[in-house]
Amino acid sequence: MLVDQNDWEQIISKMGIKNEDRIVIYDNSDVISSCRCWFNFIYFGHNPNLVHVLNGGLKKWIKENKEITNDITNIEISDYKSFEKKELVKNKEQIDLNIEKKNFKVIDARSKERFDGKVPEPRKGLRSGSIKNSFCIPFNLCLKEDRAFKSKKELKLIFETCLKDINNKNIVFSCGSGVTACVLALAYSLINDKYHPCIYDGSWAEYGIIK
């Protein structure tokens, strides 16, 4: 899912974003895409304390009658520089090795039915099921009806279903394609401020390929 580093720098520079900018990300898809964008910025070296997601996204913002505009922002191209935090992404080899080594826990953001292999995968060419020894927290469990994140108290209870210690930093999130995994990663970072988001970027779209 990650773009090439040079492509990332060009994309962000064309948006006029500078390395020292505070960034608020929003979307119109129940925060799903914005959480993925949040992860991308952190992976490419932007200060995590300067990257935020608008809770509930644009739909919630508009529903609450907050200010919007049709004006087009005048953008001055910047010279954004990035560096990759490669430790924040796991590959299939590392996931396979971890099944025996158990150095980190893998938590899957897909639905319980997909995780348990009770329903077919929506993508063709994928078997049903999940990564051995992984756990399941459907990402929707972390969101309220208005698609904002639940309270820290509620999130702690959700993650405690898989984790004895919610201060654990050795957590890797997976899903279908590396997007909703980032919703879980952000939710977990809300209750564990020492956590650096780590994603199995290939997720089940890679791991579940029928050979």
Residues catalogued as catalytic: 175
∠ CA(185), CA(176), CA(95), 5° rounding? 70
Q: State how far the alpha carbon of 18 is from the alpha carbons of 5, 96, 155, 198, in Å.
A: 16, 38, 33, 24
> Hey, which bits of the chain come out as E strands?
23-25, 51-53, 89-90, 105-108, 135-136, 171-174, 199-200
Cα distance between residue 106 and residue 174, in whole Å:
7
Tokens of 35: 């959480």
The closest alpha carbon to 147, from 25, 32, 23, belongs to 32
Cα distance between residue 181 and residue 204, in whole Å:
11
